[in-house]
Amino acid sequence: MKMVENELNDDPLIGATLGGLYRVTRLIGVGGMGRVYEATHTRLGKAYAVKVLPEGRADKPDATERFLREARSASKVENEHIVKIVNCDSDEAHRLFIVMELLEGENLAERIDRGALPVAEAVEIAKQTAEALQAAHDAGIVHRDLKPENVFITQKNGTDFVKVLDFGISKIKTPEHGDPKLTATDQIVGTPLYISPELARGVATVDHRTDIYALGVILYEMITGTPPFTGQNHFQLLYQHGNEAPDPPSQRSKEAGIPPHVESAVLRALEKNPADRFASMDAFCAALEGPTIPPRARTVGLPLLAVAVVAGATFVLWPRPAPEFVPEFVPETPTQARTEAPTQASPSVTEKSDSPAETSPAEPVTQRVKIALDSHPRGAFVSLNGEKMGRTPLEVEVERGAAATVRFSLQGYRSEAHRLVANEDDALVVRLEKKSRPKQPPIKTHF
């Protein structure tokens, strides 16, 4: 939606009353599917945002259907991060309009225009957007046109609060229609900068994972300042999304301090094959939180085997066994054996001795601990807190009690990042998950 304050005085709807209830006060913006105004309810006195379908498109069935689909999709989902639809109607002049809650703030595109966002801020915006889309997916709705312009940032309790807009080209899964499908006249939808590989190829069936890809592109752009692909034209972008691997975000923005687990989550969301992406928005959010390995628990008399699954990989912690305790044996001397009971009572073993010789010095506490790292398959490249360490198997040292991030990467397998806090020597083994190969043919640009 483009701000057009200079068009305010020339707009014929300023001052008009839509449907006999909504008096238009000002133009907010203009988009491809309508003009958005601020309007006041004549009876309630409350301000709303009203989106009006342009007169030139009102007589086109496909444009009308897309406009109505936006209202149906958004109103079908109950989630605080999706813009609220109040009404959808037409007036005596046959103007079709949607009444929505009025938002104050800016869209994400305007914020990105000022430069890359801090990683924590970007991740929080992505998580709120993901929550909205997860609710839509649970209701059988795929957005299909997720982009920064459709992510609106307002304020709630002094913090950023996301609202997802424009479900105009969404697909609704219903018992009558089955899986969401593209129509013959709507084979390539979405914005090329954020389009998923399957939409770029014009695949007949898409699902919620196309939105996961788009959110991955948006998060990539938020933390680096640029989208992963920037072709010079529409066809180059389609080819890049369908065939080329994106640069790791940390290579685009080395000074941003992008945590390995965030980079790993973004790259997984950008996998070409939908099967290699996260299975849901909830899983994407969990990966953005980062895996945490708690301090090793101990049980008396039994060794501990701790197994956890994080971001699709299984890792196993094997504690190193404590050294067996063998009591020191001091042989009794012949003199001691023949000694009779003393005439004076000997000090009790429970009495505290003042003799310096009997005081054991405190053992120094080691400030660093060793972590043995391995992977299945072996030979994975390892980085510790962003520093290159070598290939598995290997051993690294970390500061006792301090958080550390270990990342494993191997060609043909999904990269995995793990966050751990070690208080003693330990071991970490990961089982890397092999990537699936896309079955779709490459996109050709001469069509």
Q: Which residues are catalytic?
A: 145
- With beta carbons less than 8 A apart as the criterion, state whether 291 and 418 touch: yes
Return d(Cα 320, Cα 303) in angstroms, integer: 9
- Rounded to 5°, the CA angle 97-98-102 comes to 125
- Give whole-number Cα distances, 295 to 72, 268, 305, 403, 421, in Å: 49, 28, 13, 10, 6
Is the bond into 377 cis (omega within 30 degrees of 0)? Answer: yes
- 3-class state of residue 23 by DSSP: strand
φ/ψ (deg, to 5) at 262? -70, -45
CA-closest candidate to residue 192, choices 157, 156, 145: 145
- Give whole-number Cα distances, 443 to 144, 160, 237, 312, 446, in Å: 19, 39, 11, 29, 9
Return d(Cα 423, Cα 50) in angstroms, integer: 59
In 10 A of CB 21, how many CB atoms?
Answer: 17
- With beta carbons less than 8 A apart as the criterion, state whether 341 and 395 touch: no
Return d(Cα 143, Cα 137) in angstroms, integer: 9
Look at phi and psi of residue 178 and say left if phi exceeds 0, alpha if psi is from -120 to 50, else beta.
left
- Give whole-number Cα distances, 389 to 142, 260, 261, 372, in Å: 42, 14, 17, 12
Sheet of 416-421: strand order equals: 292-293, 416-421, 403-409, 381-384, 387-391
- Give whole-number Cα distances, 23 to 38, 48, 358, in Å: 8, 10, 93
341-362: burial string, b at 16+ Cβ within 10 Å, e else: eeeeeeeeeeeeeeeeeeeeee
- With beta carbons less than 8 A apart as the criterion, state whether 190 and 145 touch: yes
